[in-house]
Amino acid sequence: MDDQWMRRVWPPAGEETPPSKEGPTRPYGAPGGPPRSSTPSTPSAPSAPSASPQWPTRPYAGREPDRNSAEESLTGLYGAPVAERRQADRPAWPSLGLESPEPEDDLPPSASRYRAPETPPRPMPRWLRRLLVGGLALVCSAAVIGAVVVTVLHRAESAPPTVIHDQIAGVSYTLPPEWREGVVAPVTGFTSVAARGDSATVMARSGDRVDPPNLRSAVIDLSDLYAQLLLHGDKVEVLDDRAVTVGGRPGHTRAVRAEYTDVVNEPAFMRVTLLTRPDGGSTVLLGLAHPDRPQSRAEIEGLMWGAR
């Protein structure tokens, strides 16, 4: 075992150099010495131990690893292989995109960091903008007007009918749709009035005491009077003359139609109804329609027959 550890492996015994007084030698020769040969040598036979101390050339015993001759030829004295030296100039880390590339033609410096400038969009023509604004305003106006009309109609339909209470004439009557209560002049003698525009009117007033047998004669006198004052017709025709009972009160009614020979005035309609009162007096109801229309006749008669 002592012979194994004392065997000289490298360098050969014939090329051994004495140790320097300055310090121990390097494991592979003195500093600055010639490079080691690439051809391995055969270890020589062990020699007899000498009396002088022997300095080991390796810090440890054992066999040196084999080296490839091709690798040895590409290796310097203490440097890295040539292939590794060629790759030393390459960057150690992958590119992060922060390196400034070569400038491109016809592009500003910011194009390397941002996108190339884009062409601005074409502005909208002025006539098209005016058309869009006008159309939007028209749509909004139509929506507002429609909402107002719907609201008004809904309120008109949901509102309760108007009832006129005439205490002086001693009668109450309900107005048809689209009819409104009006104000009458005191000189006419009527105390309440209702109308639908200028086409139909109903008025009420108190009358003198009339006995039931004399109701028809009193109605004829009233209708002739009002026909002369209000109708002024060239031809007056009697349409209805009969006794009625309204709200439990006996009465009489008479309807006439006035026609005109000129082409300007249209025919007119008038109905006079006389009702008795419990206190002995009477109530006069006068209805006028000009021009004469079936709707106006029906509304006037419905108002009178519903009086109470």
Question: What are the pLDDT digits (tens) for 177-205?
Answer: 889 998 887 778 899 999 999 899 999 99
Banded model confidence at residue 70, pLDDT cuts 50, 70, 90? very low
Q: What is the pLDDT of residues 51-68, one digit of tens each?
A: 444 554 554 444 555 555
Q: Does 173 reside within a domain?
A: yes
Using the CB atoms, write b or e for 245-255: b if 16+ within 10 Å: ebeebebbbbb
Residue 275: count other Cβ atoms within 10 Å of its Cβ: 27
The predicted model gives 151-176 an average pLDDT of 84
| Pair of tokens at residue 289 | 């329609």
Residue type, 37: S
Per-residue pLDDT for 39 more than 50?
no
Let me know if residue 121 belongs to a domain.
no
Q: How far apart are CA 58 and CA 115, in angstroms?
A: 64
- 280-287 average pLDDT score: 93
195 part of a folded domain: yes
| 154 and 186 assigned to the same domain | no
pLDDT digits over 82-125, tens only? 444 445 455 556 555 555 555 445 666 666 666 666 777 778 88
Residue 237 sits in a domain whose CATH number is 3.40.1000.10
Question: Domain ends where: 118, 144, 160?
Answer: 160
Tell me the pLDDT band of 302, cut-offs 50, 70 and 90. very high
Boundaries of domain holding 140: 131-160
Q: What is the pTM of this model?
A: 0.51
Q: Is 153 exposed, middle or buried (0-12, 13-18, 19+ CB in 10 A)?
A: exposed
Per-residue model confidence (pLDDT) at position 48: 46
pLDDT of residue 74: 45
The answer to whether the CB of 173 falls within 8 A of the CB of 204 is: yes
pLDDT at 221: 94
Q: Calculate mean pLDDT across residues 160-175.
A: 91
In a domain, 4, yes or no: no
pLDDT of 118 reads 72
Task: Give the CA count within 13 Å in the CB-facing half-sphere of 294.
Answer: 0
pLDDT score, position 148: 87
Tally of structural domains, the chain: 2
CA distances from 192 to 264, 269, 289 (A): 30, 20, 17
In the predicted model, what is the mean pLDDT of residues 26-40?
48
253-275 pLDDT, tens digit each: 999 999 999 888 899 999 999 99
Does residue 268 lie within any of the structural domains?
A: yes
Is residue 243 in a domain? yes
Distances in Å between the Cα of 34 and the Cα atoms of 28, 37, 38, 78 are 10, 9, 12, 12
Highest-pLDDT range among 8-12, 34-38, 83-87, 183-187: 183-187
